[in-house]
Structure 1
Amino acid sequence: MWLGVKSYVKFLLCFFDYLVWGFGERPIRSLFFSFGLILLSSSVYFYSEGSVTYGELVNSIYFSIVTFVTLGYGDIYQKQPWLQIYSSLQAFSGMVLMGFFLAGYASKSKQY
């Protein structure tokens, strides 16, 4: 039972690595994945009725970008608990994806 679950989790992690940054060989994938996450998150903020940026496209995109790059200006912040958790997960994902991009780019630009 545990061996099957462990194998399945390992497969999902390998698939995620391939999808997001191509095992370091294609760092541009993480950049496109980042843009997709920013657009997806801005649509969540735009369409959620409890969001402070509900119905405001520019503010939703702005909040999503500021959260993704973990600037956190503080001029806009979510008040609904589930949106606060979503925002923090987006910030964590932003740190991870930027790390993937930089690591992949650094490994591709080495001169051997």
Structure 2
Amino acid sequence: MTAYLHHLPGRLRVRSCALRRNDSKARTAREHLAGQAGVLSVETNVTTGSLLVRYDTDRIDAQRILQALGSLGIVRHPSAAQRPAPRSELAQVTEGLVDRFASKLVETVIERSAVALVAALI
């Protein structure tokens, strides 16, 4: 259910299809989280399905906020939402090929630039 999660201490952003074009759910989430001790502000955007929570790290942590969102049906498994999804073997191979291609491209550009510079100086 959670499509996107970004966390920095004191700031948590969740994008969820449960919030997209759902004013009622967004209002419920804002009110529920605003009632939590340590939550400083809650912003929602129903167009993007985004929820931004700013909080006091001394009073509440991201896990408790995610659990609260889980109880509202905005995130399915709050603890799983923080773990990155395992990459497939194909994704790993593709990433390796892209890295090698980019390295070769940069190397070629540098070589050609050096040759053009030497030719210009001669």
Q: TM-score, normalised by structure 1?
A: 0.30
Decide which structure has greater strand share.
Answer: 2
Bigger-Rg structure (1/2) = 2
Higher relative CO (Cα under 8 Å, sequence separation at least 6) belongs to 1
Decide which structure has greater helix share.
Answer: 1
Q: TM-score, normalised by structure 2?
A: 0.29
